[in-house]
């Protein structure tokens, strides 16, 4: 290992760390890294991986042994992301420590989205022999809806998830291109065709049995969003589940939302040596 790891190029630092971690456990791409794999125009600033909850501390210790310290972020950054920065461990991989320039390798507990083995597919990291795992598209959407129901309607986590879902629908399902800032109009002349193609794709996921038992309603929700019949902000939140309300889409009762009464996820606080700074991630 290089005596001063920060003397190495950023890409080499990340590849070195990920290679060592991937020999210990299965790393699941998440956050901006997963978005890039799904075709979203994300700037890859942080490198987020889902890891088994029970291995989180040991894997963080490995990064510390590589002299990659816990990242310190200002309060306003942490509060804008909520649990998505508070949970897990962020280790700095950049020379810069400023809020604008810092880049981190983020180890996040896999229990929040809760992907299962059948939903994961191996994928290489960039141009390396390192094997990561990525959830298939249908699992990504179902996972977002699953997480959204764990949070109340108006909170940082919900706003982040709603934004992520909108971007995924636009760029992954409808395959829109990022508009030029100089464009006079953002209208898409073939939108009807794009919607039809997206609906057909979602229906194929259902026919292939990709929804979990009891989550088949995700198919109708996604189609309603793609068609503009509902918006991500309309999706059930913690209050709806607690009140045992039923969501209706196109006259159909989606009773799958009635059966569960989720609670707010517990926030695992970083160890005392890694607390976030209160003096001064994107989903990443």
What is the rounded CA–CA span in Å between residue 4 and residue 35? 31
Given a cut of 90, is residue 43 above it in pLDDT?
Answer: no
- The residue among 187 and 29 whose pLDDT is bigger is 29
What is the rounded CA–CA span in Å between residue 5 and residue 16? 10
Over range 205-224, report the average pLDDT.
96
Given a cut of 50, is residue 44 above it in pLDDT?
Answer: yes
Does the reported pTM lie above 0.75?
yes
What is the rounded CA–CA span in Å between residue 56 and residue 54? 6
Of the candidates 241, 197, 188, 259, the residue with the CA atom closest to the CA atom of residue 223: 197
What is the rounded CA–CA span in Å between residue 129 and residue 144? 29
Percentage of residues in the chain with pLDDT exceeding 90? 62
- The residue among 141 and 237 whose pLDDT is bigger is 141
**What's the confidence (pLDDT) of residue 186?**
59
- The residue among 16 and 87 whose pLDDT is bigger is 16
**What's the confidence (pLDDT) of residue 127?**
83
Given a cut of 90, is residue 69 above it in pLDDT?
Answer: yes
Strand partners, 29: 49
């Amino acid at each position: 290992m290089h005596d001063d790891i920060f003397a190495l190029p950023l890409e080499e630092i990340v590849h070195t760390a990920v290679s060592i971690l991937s020999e210990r456990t299965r790393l699941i791409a998440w956050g901006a890294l997963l978005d890039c794999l799904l075709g979203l125009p994300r700037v890859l600033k942080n490198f987020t991986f889902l890891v088994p909850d029970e291995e989180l501390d040991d894997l963080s210790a490995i990064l510390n042994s590589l002299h990659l310290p816990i990242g310190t972020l200002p309060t306003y950054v942490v509060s804008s992301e909520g649990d998505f920065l508070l949970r897990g461990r962020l280790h700095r991989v950049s020379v810069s420590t400023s809020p604008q320039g810092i880049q981190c390798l983020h180890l996040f507990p896999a229990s929040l989205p809760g992907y299962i083995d059948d939903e994961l597919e191996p994928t290489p990291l960039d141009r390396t022999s390192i094997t990561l795992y990525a959830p298939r598209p249908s699992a990504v959407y179902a996972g977002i809806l699953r997480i959204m129901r764990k949070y109340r309607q108006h909170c940082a986590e919900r706003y982040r998830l709603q934004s992520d879902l909108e971007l995924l629908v636009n760029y992954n399902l409808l395959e829109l291109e990022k508009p030029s800032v100089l464009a006079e109009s953002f209208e898409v002349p073939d939108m009807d065709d794009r919607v039809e193609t997206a609906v057909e794709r979602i229906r194929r996921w259902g026919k292939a049995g990709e929804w979990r038992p009891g989550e088949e309603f995700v198919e109708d929700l996604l189609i309603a969003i793609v068609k503009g019949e509902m918006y991500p902000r309309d999706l059930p939140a913690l209050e709806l589940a607690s009140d045992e309300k039923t969501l209706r889409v196109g006259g159909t009762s989606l009773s799958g939302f009635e059966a569960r009464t989720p609670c707010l996820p517990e926030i695992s606080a970083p160890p005392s040596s890694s607390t976030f700074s209160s003096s001064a991630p994107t989903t990443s």
